[in-house]
Chains A and B, each alone.
Chain A
Amino acid sequence: MKPMTAAEWLEHSNQNRGAVAWLLAAALTGFYLVLYFTEWLNPAAKALGLDGKWTLYGLLYTIAIIAGGIHVMRKYRRNRYQLVRTAVVIFVQLTFAFSIPQLLKFLGKPELYFSYLWPLKIDYLDPRNFHHYPLPFVIYSIVGSFIAVPVLTLLYGKRWYCSWVCGCGGLANTFGEPWRHLSAKSGLAWRIEKITIHAVLVIAVAITSLWFASAVLPEHQPLARAGDLTRQWYGLLVVSMLSGVAGVGLYPIGGTRVWCRFFCPMAALLGLIQKLGRFRIRVKRDMCISCGLCTKYCEMGIDVRAYAQSNRGFTRASCVGCGLCAEVCPRGVLRLENVSRRDPQELTLQSFLDESWKGGYSSPAWRE
């Protein structure tokens, strides 16, 4: 039996799908069901002086990211990448995902979230919304989705969005930290993920296309109706059930990136672009000891060890570049990189002549 105090048991149960984890999952799922499908939270919001349940939710979400973020920054205080990244996550949540939309609403303007873009927020590219939104925001959405997102992703990988800007990723990497290792690591999970995530992307693209088609062909009512109907189902199934209820509710059971990994259309699109870009995880030759910490703590369920122990650098579409694999590696085998760098200098003529670069080297110690 392992030594366990009561506090250790609570922690263990929470982090290993024990009773505590199931209770928490039930509570979180219940919260999301109440939030999405009832108005019960409105009185609580009013009591706090907020205008409704969604503002209350935004406030709770922001508090969760700040509290979790502080915990994460303390835990990984020796890792500057984690410090910078987490600070940015907190900043983006506090400003673009909370204060600015609230301020806009207070000023009587539409409540706009600059940190969300199509296809995560498909409504931002619904042509019928274009005349409700300020023109600069429409331009921002279009330029953001079709120019900034691909260019940034080619340069830095999808991480610039998924683990620096996005609120879903932000919550996962802060509040969700205790459960990040619970993601499914099997080959089967990978096969399922490839089907589901791309299916959602296809649906998101299809809905948007229907909207544009109906805007271009206004006399074609069935198109618009089909678009709206799909949008309703998409809103219920994908946005409410998958990103909220399942995505966050199941943190203590399925890990923190269930939504990001299996369903998010934005992650699907960014992943495809990432495969073409500069981002990769570099693996040092023969230094991996197959301990498996990288795989265990990969929130996207990537079997990082499989690459590390076979000395293969890699770029996986699902990798959000959180950098935890490199952090937990006890041998410093992994590094996140943006470039396929050339070797730092050319070989010397001498080393070509005596072929010492091939390993024909003997140390004075061996000659003793």
Chain B
Amino acid sequence: MKVLIIGNGVAGVTCALHLRQLDAKADIAIVSGETPHFFSRTALMYAYMNHMNRRDLEPYERGVWKQQRIELIQAWVKELKPGAAIRDDGREIPWDRLVIASGSTPNRFAWKGIDKVQDGLVNFVSMQDLDACERLTPSTRRAAVVGGGLIGVELVECLRHFGREVVFLVREPWYWPAALGAEEAAFVTEHLRAHGVDVHLGEELDEILTDSAGRVRGLRVKSGGEISCEMLGVCAGVRPAADWLKQTTLGVACGRGVIVNDRFETNIPQVWACGDVAEIHRPGQPPLIEQIWYSAKRQGAAAARNVAGIPANYEPPLFFNSSKFFDIEYTTVGDVMRLPAGTPTIYRRLPDRPVSQRIAHDGGRVLGFNMLGSRWNHEILERWILERRSPEFVLEHLEAAQFDVEFGRAPLRRMTGESLPLKKAGAP
């Protein structure tokens, strides 16, 4: 049995490694055009800042692939036919079972002037993006970054690391309203500004300005002003990398991503899809597209079982995530900003340090946590939600979920708090 996995990101690679555990005999190959070896996309910023070398981004020693008998092919797949994938150089890769794990691709918008851009515009999700960023940084005095999410702030941090002036354009009235409440966002923004970032809230890119060679030289914003910059980072979210499939003759059904059921089966027999590219349809539920590192791992592992013939229905876990804004660490569990405006929350923070906790509840039980500036054990927070604990219980036991270093626990007793109904960007 020949299994071909398209994409050597974390979903594809996890799928391959799990498949090897389940099936010692299968021929397993992974094809990717981006890099010869699996690397941690989430660590691009550390390579950019020279905290790591590119080789350090590889989560496994290179010997693993030979030892696990997983063939690595570096090529872009241009065409899929029943039983074969066609590479960009025209060669065929045969398959009996196919797993599509082509991941995500950055969103782009039809901004004015984007068609004239030849150089100076970067995203920050692929190895090629890192190449571009490194190439452009020396000739950049000021950079603009568009998109108020996590990747945007990572790119901003890298540019500040090299002392570049950075204008950070956030379309929404506060930074990352999909994840942060207005109060948290306010001190995160303050923190960004303290790191020298010129944050523009409620500001939208209107037109990209280029010089005669097509290099970005500035941009015009919707409010009318002009900002000169030699580099423009576009970090306005990602979407499933499924467009290329629509050009192939295999006929895999796509919506926003590749449509699969909860066993990762596509409409074509012997073809599965998992990871960021998968759009999972489950009876009675809205389509699910997960774009988180752990979800790609979980999906890859579950897909491997199905590919190996062991039925496994995928169930997403209670949502959790973490990130870091310069020095401020962030942990979230359950639902906070996805809850309707007006949902009661308890919001507390330290008066003198950027440390805060927001606990969303419905009066009886806790629904979610947004924790900034200190470390938390999401496993305990998660269990409190699943156990339907009351906000009073959670506040009383909160210390048990702290995960700070020894001697370094955030002083919960000094937190000052209040009850705050949830505010949402755009809601009254």
Q: Which chain A residues have a beta carbon within 8 Å of chain B's beta carbons?
A: 1-3, 12, 16, 78-84, 186-187, 284-287, 289-293, 295-296, 303, 305, 309, 323, 326-327, 330-332, 335-336, 343-345, 347-348, 350-351, 356-359, 361, 363-366, 368
Contact = CB atoms under 8 A, between A and B. Distances in A.
Nearest to B38: A290
Contacts of A290: 10, 40, 42-43, 59, 293
B43 A292 contact: yes
Contacts of A348: 387-389
B388 to A, nearest CB: 6
A364 B318 contact: no
Contacts of A327: 405
Which of B52, B53, B339 has its CB near the most chain A CB atoms (within 10 A)?
B52
B352 interface: no
Contacts of A335: 375, 403, 405
Interface stretch (B83-91, B107-115, B131-139): B131-139
Nearest to B285: A366
Given A1-B134, A296-B56, A359-B318, A291 B46 contact: yes
B53 A289 contact: no
Given A2-B137, A80-B405, A292 B59 contact: yes
Contacts of A368: 340
14 contacts: A2-B134, A2-B137, A3-B137, A80-B406, A80-B407, A80-B408, A284-B377, A287-B294, A289-B40, A335-B405, A344-B400, A348-B387, A364-B367, A365-B338
B403 A187 contact: no
**Leading 10 A-B pairs by shortest Cβ distance:** A80-B408, A344-B400, A291-B43, A289-B42, A332-B375, A80-B407, A365-B338, A81-B405, A286-B294, A290-B59
A285 B407 contact: no
Contacts of B418: none
B419 interface: no
Interface string B156-167: 000000100000
A296 B51 contact: yes
Contacts of B389: 348
Interface residues of B, number: 63
Contacts of A2: 50, 134, 137-138
B317 interface: yes
A295 B294 CA distance: 19
B323 A331 contact: yes
B380 interface: yes
A343 B339 CA distance: 29
Which of A286, A291, A323, A350 has its CB near the most chain B CB atoms (within 10 A)?
A291
B297 interface: yes
Interface in B49-70: 50-53, 56-59, 61, 63
B40 A292 contact: yes
B12 to A, nearest CB: 14
A14 B317 CA distance: 45
B278 to A, nearest CB: 18
A351 B387 contact: yes
Given A289-B43, A291-B42, 18 more contacts: A2-B138, A3-B162, A80-B406, A80-B408, A83-B407, A187-B61, A286-B320, A291-B46, A292-B40, A293-B43, A293-B46, A331-B322, A348-B387, A356-B387, A359-B318, A361-B385, A363-B368, A365-B340
A291 B40 contact: yes
Contacts of B58: 292
A305 B39 CA distance: 13
Which of B58, B293, B338 has its CB near the most chain A CB atoms (within 10 A)?
B293
A78 B339 contact: no
B397 A345 contact: yes
A359 B43 contact: no
A336 to B, nearest CB: 6
Interface in B385-428: 385-389, 397, 400-401, 403, 405-408
B266 to A, nearest CB: 25
A350 B322 contact: no
A120 B89 CA distance: 61
Contacts of B318: 359, 361, 363
B401 to A, nearest CB: 8
B329 A332 contact: yes
B335 interface: yes
A211 B36 CA distance: 58
A178 to B, nearest CB: 13
Nearest to B343: A364
Given A1-B134, A81-B407, A287-B322, A363 B43 contact: no
Contacts of A359: 315, 317-318, 386
Nearest to B295: A286
Nearest to B387: A351
A1 B285 CA distance: 48
B183 interface: no
A247 B334 CA distance: 49
A365 B385 CA distance: 14
Nearest to B286: A366
Contacts of B294: 286-287
A73 B387 CA distance: 41
Contacts of A344: 380, 397, 400-401
B378 interface: yes
Interface string B283-306: 001000000011001100000000
A177 B331 CA distance: 29
B190 interface: no
Nearest to B316: A359
B383 interface: yes
Given A292-B40, A295-B56, A335-B405, A357 B383 contact: yes
Contacts of B63: 187
Contacts of B329: 330-332
B398 to A, nearest CB: 10
